[in-house]
Amino acid sequence: MEKKPVIVVFDIGKTNKKCLVFDADYEVVYSEFFDTPQVQDADGFPTEDLDALKSAMDGQLRILLSDPGLDIRAVNFTTYGATIVNTDADGNLVHSLWDYLRPYDESVMARFEHDHGDNGHVYAQTASPSLGNLNTGLQLYLLKHSDGVLFSRIAQSTWLPQYLSGKYSGQLFSEATSVGCHTLCWDFTRSAFAGWTIAEGIEPLFPPMRAAAEPLEGVFEGHHLTMGIGMHDSSSALLPYLRSIDHPFMLLSTGSWSICLNPFNDAPLTKEELAADCLSYLTYTGRPVKASRLNAGFRHTEQVAALCQAYAIEKQQLWQLGWDADTSSVLVPADASDALKQAAVEYETFLRSLVLEQLEKIRLVAADEVRHIYVDGGFSRNTIFMGLLREGLPGMTIRAAEVGQSTALGAAMVLHEHWNPAPLRQDLVRFSD
């Protein structure tokens, strides 16, 4: 049997963890969800069990390496952000992982503002609002000023994707998509670690920078593998678009949060944009991506549930409502019940209000040369949302786009030249309209 060249990607979310295998055409030939139990950190907060996670990943690799039809050429990792792993000189964990949902100490935050805030300049410089433990640099600052003995044991502070990679390669690095993700650690104006990290003695803890497209050699139970150094999940999901589309665009990625990403706007964030919850990411090549966020998915789920309860209807009845662009109104089936007709009126009113907010978020990160918006995720299949979006941005081309397993696919594609003997496919982004 001729072996099929493939890449293995571990896509590690906070709730969903997946092992996916892509062939040379970037078709998924294996997909497995796996779960790991949470543990509590020293303060009683739930957090990731890194030992259990590594054990589960090892189990998946054993299954795949024993498959006679697969030629595993490479392995890569993509994980949720805002998570940093502190290890000692022997590579052992100094403490349990800190979950970014932990509440931040207000007195320590006030100290940081006094010492380094510079009237908000540090946030403009590092392209992120103040987000507590979501700013991973502040996790290290808090640890230093609340437990200096524990802090003194840290030899290296590594973001989660690179830590997982290092467990197989034996080498630790920092990487642009993880460092450039609301960490407060990266100075976007100088393309270097922020001055406050140097002043606080934190910067020397970060491993050297390495590009996501530059793999390492790893060994697992005698098998030599090309090993990616990992990527932050949001930037990984953007990569298939960057490598498949040859003109400026914005991506509106919709789920629980609607995140508008503009890889073609590298202007520094203003105080007004920061106040409106804008931030910047870095692409895998280190290029700034201006982004805005709206908790549209959360609110949509709550509104749909409320309408279904109030009018005794099913969710699918709302999702199946159409849109008439000529009359700018919702299309309700002629035989719809009075309850559905009334619910449709309220649903349209809600979506009009939501889209007005979404338009403002899009305009915050827009750029003159960008005339195309691609929408993926749940709202891309909502004809009312898409119709209102087009109505609000008449000069833009707005299309529903889909990339299967985009987060994992990005982590596979970034290593294309190092494992895939076939030319990179240019049709991986699919349009449904």
Q: What is the pLDDT of residue 307?
A: 97
Rounded-to-integer distance, Cα 323 and Cα 319, Å: 11
Q: What is the pLDDT of residue 1?
A: 67
Rounded-to-integer distance, Cα 431 and Cα 397, Å: 12
* DSSP three-state, residue 93: strand
At the fourth CATH level, which superfamily is domain 4-229? ATPase, nucleotide binding domain (3.30.420.40)
Q: What is the pLDDT of residue 404?
A: 85
Of 246, 275, 281, give the one whose Cα is nearest residue 263: 281
39-68 burial: b if 16+ Cβ within 10 Å, else e: eeeeeebebbbbeebeebbeebbeebeeee
The single residue listed with the structure tokens 């990625």 is 253
Predicted TM-score (pTM) of the model is 0.90
- Helix then strand count (H, E) for the chain reads 16, 22
Q: Which residues, 6 or more positions from 251, have their beta carbon under 8 angstroms from its beta carbon?
A: 238, 241, 260, 261, 263, 373, 374, 375, 376, 401
Q: Residue 239 in contact with residue 408, Cβ under 8 Å?
A: no
* DSSP code string of 70-117: EEEEEEEEEE-SS-EEEE-TTS-BSSPPPPTTSPPPHHHHHHHIIIII
Q: Residue 29 in contact with residue 14, Cβ under 8 Å?
A: no
Rounded-to-integer distance, Cα 250 and Cα 264, Å: 8
* DSSP three-state, residue 292: strand
Read off the tokens for 96: 């349990």
Q: Residue 276 in contact with residue 286, Cβ under 8 Å?
A: no
Of 144, 166, 143, give the one whose Cα is nearest residue 97: 143
Read off the tokens for 122: 């540090």
Residues with pLDDT less than 70, the chain: 1, 433
Q: Beta strands 372-377 and 322-324: pairing type?
A: unpaired
Q: What is the pLDDT of residue 432?
A: 82
For residue 384, what is the enclosing H or E element? helix 383-392
Q: What is the pLDDT of residue 378?
A: 87
Task: Name the residue ranges covered by the structural domains of the chain.
Answer: 4-229, 232-402
Q: Beta strands 223-227 and 288-294: pairing type?
A: unpaired
Rounded-to-integer distance, Cα 291 and Cα 276, Å: 11
Rounded-to-integer distance, Cα 43 and Cα 156, Å: 22
Rounded-to-integer distance, Cα 210 and Cα 226, Å: 15
Helix axes 233-244, 406-413, angle to 10 degrees: 70
What's the DSSP call for residue 379? Answer: G
H helices of 8-134, in order, are: 50-65, 106-112, 121-126
Rounded-to-integer distance, Cα 100 and Cα 226, Å: 31
Q: What is the pLDDT of residue 39?
A: 94
Q: What is the pLDDT of residue 383?
A: 95
Of 378, 369, 376, 365, give the one whose Cα is nearest residue 410: 376
The single residue listed with the structure tokens 């997909």 is 31
Q: Residue 223 in contact with residue 58, Cβ under 8 Å?
A: no
Q: Residue 124 in contact with residue 269, Cβ under 8 Å?
A: yes
What is the per-residue pLDDT across 108-122, written as a single tens digit (0 to 9) for each?
A: 999 999 999 988 899
Rg (CA), the chain: 23
Q: What is the pLDDT of residue 271?
A: 84
Cβ of 142: how many Cβ atoms within 10 Å?
Answer: 21
Please write down the HEC assignment for all residues of 240-283: HHHHHCCCCCEEEEECCCEEEEECCCCCCCCHHHHHCCCEEEEC
Read off the tokens for 129: 């609002």
Rounded-to-integer distance, Cα 275 and Cα 129, Å: 7
153 burial class (0-12, 13-18, 19+ CB within 10 angstroms)?
A: middle
Q: Beta strands 4-12 and 216-220: pairing type?
A: unpaired
What is the per-residue pLDDT across 126-154, written as a single tens digit (0 to 9) for each?
A: 999 999 999 999 999 999 999 999 999 99
Fold match flag (4-229 vs 232-402): yes
Q: Residue 141 in contact with residue 112, Cβ under 8 Å?
A: yes
Query: In the CATH hierarchy, which top-level class contains the domain 232-402?
Result: alpha beta
